[in-house]
Amino acid sequence: MGKKVYSSELKWAVVREKLSGKLTTKEILSKYDIKNKSQVET
């Protein structure tokens, strides 16, 4: 299995979602199909 690459647009969307506080990390993981919570928290 290869490494999943996320576009810069998706990364910025995740940052905006996280900073807004409207979604939890778990909800963001589900919405954007991200496998590891550290990818969102860092």
1 part of a folded domain? no
Which of 3, 2, 23 minimizes the C-alpha distance to 40? 23
3 part of a folded domain? no
Residue range(s) defining the domain that contains residue 19: 8-41
17 part of a folded domain? yes
**Tally of domains within the chain:** 1
21 part of a folded domain? yes
* pLDDT category of residue 3 using cuts at 50, 70 and 90: confident
Q: What is the pLDDT of residue 1?
A: 64
27 part of a folded domain? yes
Does residue 35 surpass a pLDDT of 80?
Answer: yes
Structure-token match 């940052």, residue found? 15
One-letter amino acid of 12: W
